[in-house]
């Protein structure tokens, strides 16, 4: 089966099980388990959650920074973890903790220098784009931001786990007619989309995020109607590809992916290519000020 073909639920779960057996997926951080346990209580204690999170200084700082991100449009500024909890809500806090933990758990090799910086830019632009094109299909700013951070997380994991993967990743730009996931499947029998999906499932991300990660290079699925692929999933994928298009530091491989997937993404977001081009200076100004 091609990596670019839609999978039914049974096939998806089977492939993900095989992925987990072959690839060492970073374990879910203990802090996520502690936060989830408190969140699932009948009456979650925000003071206890703040105490748990504050125990990790880097995590606490990341949470406060996220709460103050301009694309959330919150009137007040968070100065403490308790403020961030109140302003963002529990689910957004959980996703923010997961995204910070991901970066700490998956160090990148020198050949991927700047990977997390690029992911952060794309995540910011995903959230910013929601404000430009509107909230639709249940996808809000924080949903898009989280997806932007996680959608390519399988790449550094595969680079660390598979001999020869660097060659596959580097050669992607020279084979524009085939997606990176297709090359990965042909050469390694596993794709970064599968690995990212498996990690998202294990790290408490919403199922729609996990499935969007799995299919984010899938041109056929992206072109399907919302009755075949959930509209929210298609919108997450479209937002991330459009965000990569707006990022001035995107490479040639992203240009090729846009040629394959761009028309479907624009249709999903209900904007023209000309409008996306017009947004680019605004997007760059936003990144310079906030990213």
Give the whole-angstrom CA distance, residue 8 versus residue 169: 27
Give the whole-angstrom CA distance, residue 42 versus residue 25: 31
User: Is 64 found in the same domain as 190?
Assistant: no
Do residues 136 and 85 make contact, with C-beta atoms less than 8 angstroms apart?
no
User: 20 in a domain, yes or no?
Assistant: no
User: Is 116 found in the same domain as 95?
Assistant: no
User: 3 in a domain, yes or no?
Assistant: no
Q: Give one DSSP letter per residue of the chain, joined into a string.
A: --TTS---HHHHHHHHHHHHHHS-PPPPPHHHHHHHHHHTSSS--HHHHHHHHHTSHHHHHHHHHHHT-GGG--SS---SHHHHHHHH-HHHHHHHHHHHHHHHHSPPPGGGTTHHHHHHHHHHHHHHHHHHH--BTTB-HHHHHHHHHHTTTHHHHHHHHSTTHHHHHHHGGG-TTS-HHHHHHHHHS--HHHHHHHHHHHTT--HHHHHHHHTTT-HHHHTS-TTTS-HHHHHHHHHHHHHHHH-TT--HHHHHHHHHHHHHHHHHHT--HHHHHHHHHHHHHHHHHH-
User: Is 192 found in the same domain as 75?
Assistant: no
Name the band, by pLDDT with cuts 50, 70 and 90, for residue 100. confident
Of 78, 105, 132, which residue is a domain's last?
105
Number of Cβ atoms within 10 Å of the Cβ of 249:
12
User: 17 in a domain, yes or no?
Assistant: no
Name the band, by pLDDT with cuts 50, 70 and 90, for residue 253. low
**What is the pLDDT at residue 2?**
43
What mean pLDDT is predicted for residues 200-213?
Answer: 93
**What is the pLDDT at residue 6?**
47
User: 250 in a domain, yes or no?
Assistant: yes
Q: Could you tell me how far CA 257 lies from the centroid of its own chain?
A: 16
Question: Which of 275, 290, 270 is closest to 136 using CA atoms?
Answer: 270
Bigger pLDDT: 291 vs 276: 276
User: 93 in a domain, yes or no?
Assistant: yes
What's the N-to-C CA distance of the chain in angstroms?
39
Bigger pLDDT: 10 vs 44: 44
User: 159 in a domain, yes or no?
Assistant: yes
Write down the residue that tokens 């249940």 correspond to. 138
CATH number of the CATH domain containing 254: 1.10.3210.10
pTM of the model: 0.87
Name the band, by pLDDT with cuts 50, 70 and 90, for residue 106. confident
User: Is 231 found in the same domain as 182?
Assistant: yes
What mean pLDDT is predicted for residues 189-215?
Answer: 93
Q: Which domain holds residue 165?
A: 111-290
User: 10 in a domain, yes or no?
Assistant: no
Bigger pLDDT: 174 vs 262: 262
- If you average pLDDT over every residue of the chain, what do you get? 87
User: 4 in a domain, yes or no?
Assistant: no
Check whether 23 has a pLDDT greater than 90: no
Do residues 122 and 243 make contact, with C-beta atoms less than 8 angstroms apart?
yes
Q: Count of domains in the chain?
A: 2
User: Is 260 found in the same domain as 191?
Assistant: yes
Bigger pLDDT: 9 vs 110: 110
The string over 165-175, giving b where at least 16 C-beta atoms fall within 10 Å of a residue's C-beta and e elsewhere, is beebbeebeee
């Amino acid at each position: 089966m091609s990596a670019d073909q839609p999978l039914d639920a049974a096939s998806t779960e089977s492939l993900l099980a095989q992925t987990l057996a072959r690839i060492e997926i970073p374990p879910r951080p203990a802090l996520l388990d502690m936060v989830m346990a408190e969140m699932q209580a009948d009456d979650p204690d925000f003071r206890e959650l703040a105490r748990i999170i504050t125990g990790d200084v880097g995590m606490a700082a990341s949470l406060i920074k996220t709460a103050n991100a301009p694309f959330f449009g919150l009137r007040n500024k968070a100065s403490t973890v308790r403020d961030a909890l109140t302003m963002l809500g529990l689910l957004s806090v959980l996703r923010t903790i997961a995204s910070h933990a991901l970066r700490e758990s998956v160090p990148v090799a020198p050949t991927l220098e700047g990977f997390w910086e690029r992911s952060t830019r794309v995540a910011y632009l995903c959230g910013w784009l929601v404000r430009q094109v509107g909230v639709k299909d249940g996808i809000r700013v924080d949903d898009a931001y989280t997806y932007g951070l996680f959608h390519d997380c399988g790449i550094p994991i595969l680079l660390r786990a598979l001999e020869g993967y660097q060659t596959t990743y580097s050669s992607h730009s020279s084979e524009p007619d085939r997606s990176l996931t297709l090359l990965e499947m042909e050469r390694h029998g596993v794709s970064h989309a599968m690995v990212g999906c498996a990690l998202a499932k294990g790290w408490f991300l919403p199922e729609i995020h996990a499935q969007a990660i799995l299919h984010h290079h899938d041109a056929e699925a992206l072109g399907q109607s919302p009755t075949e692929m959930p509209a929210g999933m298609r919108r997450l994928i479209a937002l991330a590809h459009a965000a990569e298009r707006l990022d001035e530091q995107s490479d040639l491989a992203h240009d090729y992916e846009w040629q394959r997937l761009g028309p479907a993404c624009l249709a999903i977001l209900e904007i023209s290519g000309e409008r996306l081009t017009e947004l680019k200076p605004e997007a760059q100004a936003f990144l310079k000020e906030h990213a």
